């Protein structure tokens, strides 16, 4: 039985493959297959893979990046369709408050399954443009990080 991915190699004899003669085997598929990503303006979700992601990456309006290790994720709560609370507990206790529109759909479930690669905070002008052109697309307009009991805009 021929495997379509290995068709070129299976048509060659072992000697031809060893000597590098005949057809070259097909290139392996790219690791970052676009079908496995669900990329929105505000976040990116990894789909269809079994590997675990090491961390959740946050990008604020100014372009600063902060990562939180998924191994310290203790819970995700939905306050309303416009507010998600993400709890991390390690050396310190952190609560991330993600605000925006339609966050109760795919983002909530993907966070529960630790499948979100990154979340990006959009400024008001870009968020309004996204809502105008694609009204059903979820949008993140705020990221607030609370360490212990001290809350601050990040």
pLDDT category at 145 given cuts 50, 70, 90 is very high
pLDDT for residue 51: 73
Please give the helix or strand (H or E) that residue 38 lies within, else none. Answer: strand 37-39
Q: What is the four-CA torsion angle of 15, 1, 32, 54, rounded to 10 degrees?
A: -100
pLDDT for residue 65: 95
pLDDT category at 32 given cuts 50, 70, 90 is very low
pLDDT for residue 153: 58
pLDDT for residue 30: 39
pLDDT category at 82 given cuts 50, 70, 90 is very high
pLDDT category at 50 given cuts 50, 70, 90 is low
Mapped onto helix, strand or coil, the DSSP state of residue 112 is helix
pLDDT for residue 19: 56
pLDDT for residue 128: 92
For residues 79 and 87, the answer to whether their CB atoms sit within 8 Å is no
For residues 17-33, one letter each, b for 16 or more C-beta atoms within 10 angstroms of the residue's C-beta and e for the rest, the string is: beeeeeeeeeeeeeeee
Determine the Cα–Cα distance for residues 117 and 37; give it in Å rounded to an integer: 9
What does the pLDDT average to over 43-51? 80
Determine the Cα–Cα distance for residues 70 and 64; give it in Å rounded to an integer: 19
| Across 25-39, 93-107, 131-145, least confident range | 25-39
pLDDT higher at 153 or 123: 123
pLDDT category at 2 given cuts 50, 70, 90 is low
pLDDT for residue 70: 94
């Amino acid at each position: 039985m021929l495997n379509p991915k290995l068709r070129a190699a299976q048509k060659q004899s072992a000697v031809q493959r060893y000597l590098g003669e005949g057809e070259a085997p097909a290139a392996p598929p790219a690791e970052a297959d676009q079908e496995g990503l669900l990329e929105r303006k505000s976040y990116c979700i990894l789909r269809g893979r079994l590997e675990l992601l090491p961390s959740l990456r946050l990008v604020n309006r100014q372009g600063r990046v902060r990562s939180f290790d998924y191994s310290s994720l203790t819970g995700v709560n939905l306050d309303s369709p416009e507010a998600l609370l993400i709890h991390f507990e390690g050396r310190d206790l952190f609560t991330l408050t993600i605000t925006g529109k339609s966050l109760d759909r795919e983002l909530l479930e993907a966070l529960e399954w630790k499948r979100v690669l990154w979340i990006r905070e959009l400024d008001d002008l870009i968020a309004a443009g996204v809502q105008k052109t694609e009204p059903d697309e979820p949008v993140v307009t705020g990221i607030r990080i609370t360490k212990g009991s001290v809350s601050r805009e990040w």
